[in-house]
Amino acid sequence: MGEKEQHYVQQAFDTNWVAPLGPNVTGFEADIAEYLDNGVHATALSSGTAALHMGLILLGVGPGDEVLCQSFTFSASANPIAYLGARPVFIDSEKDTWNISPDLLEEAILAGIRKGNKPKAIIAVHLYGMPYKVKEIQRLSEQYDIPVLEDSAEALGSTYHGVKCGSFGDIAILSFNGNKIITTSGGGALVSKNRSFTEEALFLATQARENEIHYQHEKIGYNYRMSNVLAGIGRGQMSVLEDRVKARRNNHEFYYKELASNPEISFLTESHGYFSNRWLTCIQTSSYEMRENIRLALLEQNIESRPLWKPMHLQPVFKNEISFIDGVSNDLFDRGLCLPSGSNLEMEDLERIAFVIKKCLI
């Protein structure tokens, strides 16, 4: 936490706005929209997962529909498809950004069209903060007239050709869960240039209560709004976001400087125009065995590291779903490792971690 969060939380208590609405919620939404720029509006919600669920509803996804979804991601990107009785179609990653492959995406779109079930939406993810191939994905979205739901949960502070991640999709989502670059402990937001989407999200997320004196309901509603107390934390956190991005990028730079020259290890690099918040620093090792050597050596020193996200097409819960896979994310899962990446790591910590890793490489 920074210095301002308690001020806003105290304000919520002092004014008795302890409710899922109030000045902090409105202020936080304005802060998010101002930060992302590019003409977007924001609706603060209880989680990123809730925002994805709302987003799919707003894009008209329902039972029997197919939704194209990046396979290499956290399960929360895909679960809301199942909430709606729709089916995910998982798409593998390309090697430049580790995100959804435009080639496989087009194959999947054409396959859907051929069987008479044109996919309803594309869920693209800026995984670990690295922007996906925005231009290529947008081109396919326009060419085939399929909207993009941009999962920017891990990419607040990242940019693509100078434009902020979270402002590209027909609808985008953010997460303020405890593990993200800034947090409200739990929370999320739905973002769009199209104000009718953010307004409808607000309506649906507050139990779809119609504008009447009595409680009138014409649609199924949800209780997905963000608390005014937590939005206070969010307002304070927005003021330290740029510092957090710097800290995370410094972590990455340190690891890169220490480890990149070793042929056993490679990093995900930023192509021209790509700027990652480096939410997590990830490495790819030469083999599964090397990955495990490093992970276990770190663990022995009480240092936690983790394999990369296990792709959705490999998850038992999604084993019956269609997927378009060419091996990129399987390989990332086998050989990839997330290194300690907290914004509060000290130089001493980083040096200790790099020392342990280097010992595995000799």
Determine the size of the site formed for ligand PLP (CB under 6 A): 14
Cβ proximity to ligand PLP: between 65 and 151 the closer is: 151
Q: Are 185 and 233 in contact (CB under 8 A)?
A: yes
125 part of the interface to ligand PLP, by CB under 6 A: yes
- Restricting to residues 149-168, name those near ligand PLP by CB under 6 A: 151, 153-154
Among 25, 61, 69, 76, binds ligand PLP (CB under 6 A): 76
- Restricting to residues 184-213, name those near ligand PLP by CB under 6 A: 188
Q: Are 107 and 324 in contact (CB under 8 A)?
A: yes
Residue type, 194: N
227 part of the interface to ligand PLP, by CB under 6 A: no
Q: Which residues, in sequence order, are bridge partners of residue 42?
A: 191
237 part of the interface to ligand PLP, by CB under 6 A: no
What does the CA dihedral 35, 41, 47, 49 come to, rounded to 10 degrees? -110
Least distance from ligand PLP to the Cβ atom of residue 153, Å:
3
77 part of the interface to ligand PLP, by CB under 6 A: yes
Among 49, 159, 285, 305, binds ligand PLP (CB under 6 A): 49
Q: Are 44 and 29 in contact (CB under 8 A)?
A: yes
74 part of the interface to ligand PLP, by CB under 6 A: yes
Least distance from ligand PLP to the Cβ atom of residue 180, Å:
6
254 part of the interface to ligand PLP, by CB under 6 A: no
Least distance from ligand PLP to the Cβ atom of residue 135, Å:
21
Least distance from ligand PLP to the Cβ atom of residue 9, Å:
19
Q: Which residues, in sequence order, are bridge partners of residue 306?
A: 338
Q: Are 42 and 29 in contact (CB under 8 A)?
A: yes
Cβ proximity to ligand PLP: between 50 and 265 the closer is: 50
Least distance from ligand PLP to the Cβ atom of residue 225, Å:
14
Q: Where are the alpha helices (DSSP H) in 260-345?
A: 288-300, 328-335
Residue 301 CA to residue 31 CA, distance in Å, equals 41
Token match 């399929």: residue? 146
Which residue is at the shortest CB distance from ligand PLP?
48
Side-chain half-sphere of 159: how many Cα atoms within 13 Å?
A: 12
Least distance from ligand PLP to the Cβ atom of residue 97, Å:
14
Q: Where are the beta strands (DSSP E) in the chain?
A: 41-45, 66-70, 87-91, 121-125, 148-151, 159-160, 163-164, 171-175, 188-192, 265-267, 274-275, 282-285, 306-307, 322-324, 336-338
175 part of the interface to ligand PLP, by CB under 6 A: yes
Least distance from ligand PLP to the Cβ atom of residue 290, Å:
26
- Which residues of the shown chain bind ligand PLP in the complex (CB under 6 A)? 47-49, 73-74, 76-77, 125, 151, 153-154, 175, 177, 188
